[in-house]
Amino acid sequence: MNQRWRLIALWLLPIGVVLLIAWQILSSGGLNDLGNRGPTVAPRNTAVSRMSYGRFLDYVEAGRVTAVDIYDGGRNAVVEAVDPDLDNRVQRLRVDLPGLAPELINTLKQESISFDIHPPKTAPPALGLLGNLLFPLLLIGSLIFLARRNSGMPGGPGQAMQFGKSKARFMMEAETGVKFDDVAGVTEAKQELEEVVTFLKQPERFTSVGAQIPRGMLLVGPPGTGKTLLAKAIAGEAGVPFFSLSGSEFVEMFVGVGASRVRDLFKKAKENSPCLIFIDEIDAVGRQRGAGIGGGNDEREQTLNQLLTEMDGFEGNSGIIIIAATNRPDVLDSALMRPGRFDRQVTVDAPDIKGRLSILEVHCRNKKLEDDLSLESIARRTPGFTGADLANLMNEAAILTARRRKEAIGLSEIDDAVDRIIAGMEGRPLTDGRSKRLIAYHEVGHALIGTLVKDHDPVQKVTLIPRGQAQGLTWFSPDEEQSLVTRSQLKARIMGALGGRAAEDVVFGHQEVTTGAGGDIQQVASMARQMVTRFGMSDLGPVSLEGGNQEVFLGRDLMTRSDVSDSIARQIDEQVRAMVKHCYTETVAIVSSNREVMDHLVENLIDKESMDGDEFRDVVAKFTEIPEKERSAPILD
């Protein structure tokens, strides 16, 4: 259908242009003749030369003009005149007249000059009518062509007249290729959502005891934790009509379009109930109303009002279950979050070590692993990784394996993939010199403090190979995700971050410290200030000295407000400086007392460019005693 209309338009356009040009020529008299009187008529451009109007009048008075043919309503004439300069031969000359004036006609009559007036030829009436209608017809034909083009594709140019319709993708039975067995690491969230599927398949289990399934479920969690994957699993398991769209697809430039799309979406959903509606990134349309400078956005707020009405308004939405996902629940409108609309908030957080192990098992189904590669070691190596991060990790490891022409993924590929994801692409190794030695002392300073301070996380790897913007890196592996952190652990982390600067200060002197510790010092300042202002771990006492909730709509830099007086702010600064200074003094003391082991570690690191945690600790143990750090128990299935 689209191809046929495209061919018709391609044929009509050149034909229309040709007809329009022809009509213009005919209507302007472009084919009128300016020839001899009588049966033989010469066209206008047959005159051999031109004559001015003043000279023509002089020739008339002198009696040299023998005949005049007037054309175009008196605008042009062909004159036969006797030229004395050419032995009185008759010349045919063209004259531009100012118009068919009565004085000129009277003069020609008085001089007994033969003249004839030729009326302009007009185009046939049908051709004139066609010329007048040609442009409107071409315009209407183009609009029809655009309206029919890609009429079957949602969001295409053919939908220009239907922008108020819902853009939701509709599937009578969603074939997403994802089941609950493919979702791992979010056991609690999966159990909550399995109830939705059970209600849709066996509603009598709930209605027999008077239970009602929640009308709406909001999936909340950081990016990459599997919210959209859970929605796909629900769609794949439920076997009911499924609508899916993004929150941004409601909002348009024109006020009222989003509300119209909401009405159209729920109208279609009610026609196919019971059904599921999945709205991804609902914060794009569900932000708090009336917030921000200027009072908010009319189009978005009208869309949200319509969404609130459809979810739990006067008529309700019986048989429609809405599942939405967001990573910004703090900006959602309170009316959207109340029971009756989104009755449940399902937290989909980053997985723990058991969750990461189950996610790795899912993503390693189609990958070849070496026999000695343990998924548990990978799970311990990746604290804080989400499901998307782990999928990307295994894909990067598979790419490295293929690049190195190996047949199975090994531990070295996993380590390199983790390093690439965390720190960036590997750079060119440094050449041996003063800069490389200085970076070696800096990184060994971090690792040495992390090893000798009891409450610090153990060292996993030290390297001089640049990655991203860093010239050298030291990795620490937390024992496990820590929801609660003690004061001694925070102090140990501050000392570990200051270890690089302390090593530069001890080895090269106070005047030779570099800018390499800039990022470390920023982390130190942030941790120390939080200990003072948020956690009450200073001499100021257990008092929160800063607001926990900042207005996200106004902008932190545009409007800032201090929660403390000037004197308290001064005391906070003093406490932060004192805390950092005390930690730095202890760090310098540890580095100075272990200068011999540091020099030995630096030589090994420069020679090998990378040292893993076990190798690093073995070298340190030869010179000093390492405090025993607590390790978690192995994973129990």
Phi/psi for 204 (5° steps) reads: -65, -25
Which residues are paired to 367 by β-bridges? Answer: none
Active site residue 551: no
Residue 438 corresponds to which tokens in the numbers above?
A: 């200085």
Q: Measuring CA to CA, how many Å separate 621 from each of 126, 527, 613, 625? A: 106, 30, 12, 6
DSSP 555-587: -TTTS---SS-HHHHHHHHHHHHHHHHHHHHHH
Tell me 470's DSSP state. Answer: B
**CB under 8 Å to 163, separation ≥6 — which residues?**
252, 254, 257
Element (H, E) at 598: helix 595-608
Residues 501, 507, 511, 516: is their CA dihedral positive or negative?
A: negative
Which conformational region is residue 555 in: left (phi greater than 0), alpha (psi within -120 to 50 degrees), or beta?
A: left
Cα distance between residue 341 and residue 322, in whole Å: 9
3-state secondary structure of 308: helix
Residue 29 corresponds to which tokens in the numbers above?
A: 């008299």
Instruction: Specify whether the CB–CB gap between 349 and 357 falls below 8 A.
Output: no
Q: Measuring CA to CA, how many Å separate 291 from each of 152, 288, 381, 418? A: 39, 6, 43, 41
- Residue labelled with tokens 């005159």: 47
Residue count of the chain, please give it: 637
CA 29 to chain centre: 59
Task: Select which of 443, 551, 603, 609 is catalytic.
Answer: 443
Closest to 91 (Cα-Cα) out of 99, 82, 100: 82
DSSP 474-526: EEE--SS--SS--HHHHHHHHHHHHHHHHHHHHHH-GGG--GGGHHHHHHHHH
Instruction: Specify whether the CB–CB gap between 167 and 154 falls below 8 A.
Output: yes
Tell me 85's DSSP state. Answer: G
Element (H, E) at 171: strand 169-171
Helices (H) and strands (E) in the chain, counts: 20, 14
CA 480 to chain centre: 33
Strands 65-71 and 114-117: parallel
Which residues are paired to 115 by β-bridges? Answer: 68
Closest to 47 (Cα-Cα) out of 87, 84, 109, 90: 90
Cα distance between residue 409 and residue 403, in whole Å: 11
Amino acid letter at 384?
Answer: G
Which residues are paired to 476 by β-bridges? Answer: 459
Q: Which residues form the catalytic set? A: 443
